[in-house]
Amino acid sequence: MFLLINIYALILTQSLISAKGTIGELDSKRQAGGFDYQNTDAWKDEYPSCGGNNQSPINLDFGKFREVVDPRKLEFHGYNNIPKKISIVNNGHSLELEGHWPYNKHPYISGGPLQSDYVFKQLHFHWGVNNNEGSEHTINGQSFPLEMHLVHYKKDYDSFKDALNHTDGISVVAVFFDIQDEGSEGIANVLKNATSLLRPNSHVNLEPFALSTFDGITSAPKYASYYGSLTTPPCSESVTWIIPVTVLDITAYQMKTFRCLNFNHKDYHNFRPTQNTNGRIIYLFKQPPS
């Protein structure tokens, strides 16, 4: 079993290429709204990594998972810590949230498939025009109306921008949401000032809350993991994906609120279609007994 995990680590560090294009180019293109969701196949013309062999999202086929017992339990540190400040922005492609925590209180994840600590950077959301689509990853071909990405970068690197240039630089925790009568406390917190976020580049500060208000992320007994990329340009192949086997709650009204937001290029959804796995292994980690 230990050998299997080492093989997985080797895949993470040796099998993939760094993204082409500088961070400065990325920033300027994003400020100009430099990509859209109307023809995602065209992304590779401007961002070559988007045509790579290790792209995300993918379909998670449970029949093809390789099951392992997690030798080093995946741990979520500081997810109960309340930040000093939380800001949220409609960046023209998604709703993105960042927090500012006191010294030594910043959330991070470790263990599982990760060989180091990964510091929380931001979270954002992907959705569609109705409740039958919206998630980027699918499970056995099934879509969900909303997918949240909690983006982390490897602490060993100087910054998030630096981490993008390394094959083991980023880890993203992806969480699905489905329609229920009662939504999660975290979603309610995010949407409190939604009327101030209708236009691209609009932003507001929220009343600070802990990441643990998205109940169920840290306690999932199983999670899938594979190596892939960012799901937006420049599609850097630098991401260890961690997908808890759980589905959180969101109400139909909350989903309608997300769909009221306006994006660049008159996009009405912000999910990339699933990409070919190209033989990549998808691991299903079971948490070890307490």
Q: What is the set of active-site residues?
A: 93
Query: Which residues, including other chains, have CB under 8 Å from residue 233's CB and lie 6 or more apart?
Result: 26, 29, 34, 35, 43, 46, 47, 50
CA 192 to chain centre: 22
In this structure, is the dihedral angle defined by the CA atoms of residues 39, 41, 47 and 50, taken in order, positive or negative?
A: positive
| Cis omega (within 30 of 0) for bond into 234 | yes
Instruction: Tell me how many helices (H) and strands (E) the chain has.
Output: 6, 15
Residue with tokens 């922005």: 89
Spatial separation of the C-alpha atoms in residues 175 and 186, rounded to whole Å: 12
Residue with tokens 């990964």: 118
Strand partners, 120: 152
Which among 139, 82, 143, 74 is positioned nearest to 109, based on CA atoms?
74
In this structure, is the dihedral angle defined by the CA atoms of residues 61, 67, 71 and 76, taken in order, positive or negative?
A: positive
